[in-house]
Amino acid sequence: MSLFGLKIGKKKLREEERQLQANNRDFNLQFEYANNSIKTSKYNFFTFLPLNLFEQFQRIANAYFLFLLILQLIPQISSLAWFTTVVPLVLVLAVSGVKDAIDDFNRHKSDKHVNNRPVQVLINGMLKDEKWMNVQVGDIIKLENNNFVTADLLLLSSSEPHSLTYIETAELDGETNLKVKQALTVTAELGEDLQKLTEFNGEVKCEAPNNKLDKFTGTLTLRGEKYALDNEKMLLRGCIIRNTEWCFGLVIYAGPDTKLMQNSGKTTFKRTSIDRLMNVLVLLIFAFLALMCLILAIGNGIWEYDRGYYFQVYLPWAEGVNSASYSGFLMFWSYVIILNTVVPISLYVSVEIIRLGNSFYIDWDRKMYYPQKDTPAQARTTTLNEELGQIKYIFSDKTGTLTQNIMCFNKCSINGKSYGDVYDMSGQRIEINEKTEKVDFSYNQLADPKFTFYDHSLVEAVKLGDVPTHRFFRLLSLCHTVMPEEKKEGNLVYQAQSPDEGALVTAARNFGFVFRARTPETITIVEMGETKVYKLLAILDFNNVRKRMSVIVRSPEGDLTLYCKGADTILYELLHSSCDSLKEETTEHLNEFAGEGLRTLVVAYKNLDEEYFQDWIRRHHEASTALEGREDKLSELYEEIEKDLMLLGATAIEDKLQDGVPQTIETLARASIKIWVLTGDKQETAMNISYSCNLLHDDMDDVFIIEGSTSDDVLQELRDARKKMKPNSFLDSDEINIQFEKSSKKPKVLPDEQANGVYGLVITGHSLAYALEENLELELVRTACMCKVVICCRVTPLQKAQVVELVKKYKKAVTLAIGDGANDVSMIKTAHIGVGISGQEGMQAVLSSDFSFAQFRYLQRLLLVHGRWSYIRMCKFLKYFFYKNFAFTLVHFWYGFFSGFSAQTVYDEWFITLYNLVYTSLPVLGMSLFDQDVDDRWSLLFPQLYVPGQQNLYFNKMVFVKCMFQGIYSSLILFFIPYGAMYNSVRSDGKAIADYQSFALMVQTCLLIVVSVQICLDTSYWTVVNQFFIWGSLSVYFAITFTMYSDGMYMIFTASFPFVGTARNTLSQPNVWLAIFLSITLCVLPVVGFRFLKTQLRPTPSDKVLLKIKEAKKRPPPPSPRRRLRRTSTRRSGYAFAHQHGFGALIMSGRNMRPKSPFATTGTFSPNSDKHKHKGL
């Protein structure tokens, strides 16, 4: 039963196994499976008020002000009106409530957008358009090309041969290469026959909903027969249908039960470390307040017992008070009300305003605006700004975050000559930019218009008929597993298993060797305008051991050739001895390519003897049909034929990094921020990109690779790594070992450990699963946190969140997660700060994030500029705010000793009301919104300035205690100097001014000028606004004071303004101003002296950097760093590392072929003929 959106009644039992029947909603409803609607919002119309108020009163200060309000309603102890607390409390709750409501409204909007997407559902024999939210478990739905998959489906049939379906899983694992799913033969027969699909009543039993993306087990029972189901027959929510006209699927899991949602993690209420610290400090202040009230209450009891009891004729006790002890009890609560300004409610209003203002700076920052996609930076949460200035660990996705997810054919080496670089007239290599002239491919009507290349000499070599160059591109157009799609003649689209392969085939296409069509037995190529059909005799498929693939083809002329491409370390072992000199030249080129972070690959060929090949193909057939040792036998045959290859050259592909990624990573590293890459990609791909963007480099002492297949192996590998980095960390005397030997259930915080060099750590998803177990997690976090860089590859979305959670658990550090896909949502939600990049993989990451922008490079500005400024401003604000309120409030405490502990206020009531609201609010807001110790350019040039934020140096418990003592000292000066100056003094005309009203005015004037001078000392960056706020506040104070203390106001409101004439009488006396000047000097001088001596004698690292900047400002400004980061490395990887085993067998079987390509015929293709002219190509 549901009431107002809240579930009431018996708790739903945990699901152990799922059972469902196709096309039978009545049967499936009995299990109460979730429907397909998703909910990321927190409130509904009825629950908003109670839940939001409950959340807000979890703030100790809000609960405290509610308690104060109750006290003020009791007349015996109330010395202030009830509305002085009600109005600001309601204002604070309302402002926070409205902000939470807007945030939740946006979540509702996002949910509604997803839940209302249309999908075709089979109902009563007809396809009906339904909303996603109305889809239920057991429904059969139809999806078409480029549709998002609605729920987790069992694939029943599709438009493709053998019911294959191509899907893109970027939302799940960040990979854009296509994956193939295949339906069971028994369901494939259903096709798109709606009658058969309606009659289909198969019963599925499968595992309960879980978060394992790569695993599914179940059975389908149909007409008494059982069929096994696995992950290869499942289409998961979040995938996109590609290259498939239509397919039908049976809903197995819906909505929150889908694997995507199971991996998305919970939305948590994020609070900054300063928020948590303020809660602790508020408790300390309460304790201090209670102590002061207790002292004053005891003092009142003693005074009433000793003096007041005999003084009742003049000062009678209040009604109901019949003893000194009861009077002391009441005075305790009266002083609680009077002294409550040590934690004024305006503190929380001001904090929200400052955060909101600093959020607008992020939204308005033009330097974080991406014009190509018209995407500005956005602060989606306004409560976490200062946390941006304290980040210690960044967890980044790779695909789409560090890279653009675009592969580009960049350079190549053919027959010992390197192509791709551009040279000027003097033979000097010039850097390629937007102005560099591109190669004109207009002569080739089938060229891809998006392909760009700059080296004209390669095109000339092709046009001149250079044999090795033709052979090189012929190899690239034949040796692959790409599928072509040509819906319009000449308009070719390649569907590649890996983006690397797509880039190579596209390069061959543009240089005149166009891969046009394929069947299981043939490959059709248009070579320099002439169509040729090659017979495809064998595909020697890729696997992780071979790291290469080969094809054996027969040309139209009858020549037998093996073409091979793969990793250089593997292929170099298979080359003929005659290639040694060419191998040396190619190696030089490979090193140069790899040094620029390009993904390299070696290509070779071999002409085959007909007789030998016939014998080999016979043995190949026997091996491929063998029941035992099939893989080993095939591997031996592959090794046998792939020998004595002739080297052709090498390719270099750029996995395009986003602009400025290496520079951003280098800058963040100089700010002592550690970067962990968490990606679903393969190990080699992830490592290659890490080298490209300067995360890993050859200067590192070592890069540890953790790839153990058992828990013990992983533990040993982690320990070996830690032993090398810090040998003495295994000693019994080690601080951390001692700390964790003491048995305690409370998680302990690990202190930072320094390694004896610079190290990197790479761990695979399989090994990470073991490392995240409870008995290994401590070893993982100790070893990983000693490394400069950590790369976790092949990780699931949930593992990403677990890694972030692990660091949060054991490290007292602020974490940030950044990603662009649905697979990053869980880690974005888990980290202290979540950043979404609006990129290639949809908007799910942005919708779950706290901050968003379009490019990774903007992260350095977000942290080093906006984050650091926000943190410094918030710290300065808190220090000043606590100081001014301690100085203000404690004067009451000292006055209690001179007023019989009677809870009489020192100041005029109007001054108490306006002190935080008018007189001191704007100057501190001005500082908190505009202050900056250095501008944005220096912040980026000196990232070391970021470090104090990580160490929380600007505001912590010790800083608070210093503020408190400064406030106590100032309150002593502010009370006793005016008291001494007023005591028994007279005016120049002989009249006395030693009265309460004159004393009150003098104290409050001293106080206001002292706190104004203090904020001037705290302000680093002066603007017109700051000047206006400070001088304006002082002017307003004097204007209001003279107005309220005037005769006219007294005549109109006699009871409200009793201080008639006090201002003009008191402030006209020179001795009063002398006392005010003395008070200001005594309050400010120690602060100035302490700061000066500290900077001179014990400067912090920040002080030293600021001094450097001050000196640098006197010189001409340095040019912005625009150097290109390069590395030298012998590391290379290629297409094979992003490839999938077994795709070659699928092509050779013909199960994925459509028998409808009209271009797979031998003949001549003339691009200039009328028949083959294509517009726009």
Q: Which residues are catalytic?
A: 397
Structural contact between residues 89 and 62, judged by C-beta atoms closer than 8 angstroms: yes
Asked whether the CA dihedral 953, 958, 960, 966 is positive or negative, the reply is negative
What token pair was written down for 455? 């080296």
602 sits in the region (left: phi over 0; alpha: psi -120 to 50; else beta) called beta
- Give the list of residues 6+ apart from residue 1009 with CB closer than 8 angstroms, or none: 1034, 1076, 1080
DSSP-assigned states of every residue in 130-174: EEGGG--TT-EEEEETTPBP-SEEEEEEESSGGGEEEEE-HHHHS
Q: Of 15, 23, 9, 55, nearest to 256 (Cα)?
A: 15
Amino acid at 777: E
Structural contact between residues 357 and 349, judged by C-beta atoms closer than 8 angstroms: no
Q: Where are the alpha helices (DSSP H) in 1022-1142?
A: 1024-1044, 1047-1052, 1062-1066, 1070-1097, 1101-1114
- The secondary structure of residue 88, as a DSSP letter, is H
Amino acid at 970: S
CA angle 678, 681, 683 (to 5 degrees): 90
Q: Of 926, 900, 870, nearest to 296 (Cα)?
A: 900
DSSP H helix total and E strand total for the chain: 41, 37
| Inter-CA distances, 191 with 154, 155, 249, 922, 948, Å | 14, 11, 11, 72, 65
Asked whether the CA dihedral 512, 517, 519, 520 is positive or negative, the reply is positive
Structural contact between residues 663 and 376, judged by C-beta atoms closer than 8 angstroms: no
Give the separation between CA 510 and CA 458, rounded to whole angstroms.
11
Phi then psi dihedrals of residue 152, to 5 deg: -80, 115
Q: Of 344, 465, 338, 342, nearest to 77 (Cα)?
A: 338
Give the separation between CA 685 and CA 480, rounded to whole angstroms.
19
- The burial of 872, by beta-carbon neighbours within 10 Å (0-12 exposed, 13-18 middle, 19 or more buried), is given as buried
Place of tokens 């704007």: 922
Give the separation between CA 830 and CA 780, rounded to whole angstroms.
19
714 membership: H or E segment, kind and range: helix 711-725
The neighbouring-strand residues paired with 240 are 148, 168
Asked whether the CA dihedral 556, 562, 567, 569 is positive or negative, the reply is negative
Phi then psi dihedrals of residue 1000, to 5 deg: -60, -45
812 sits in the region (left: phi over 0; alpha: psi -120 to 50; else beta) called beta
What token pair was written down for 254? 């819906």
Give the separation between CA 215 and CA 232, rounded to whole angstroms.
9
Neighbours of 171 (CB within 10 A): 24
Structural contact between residues 525 and 516, judged by C-beta atoms closer than 8 angstroms: yes
What token pair was written down for 76? 């015996």
What token pair was written down for 669? 């590293």
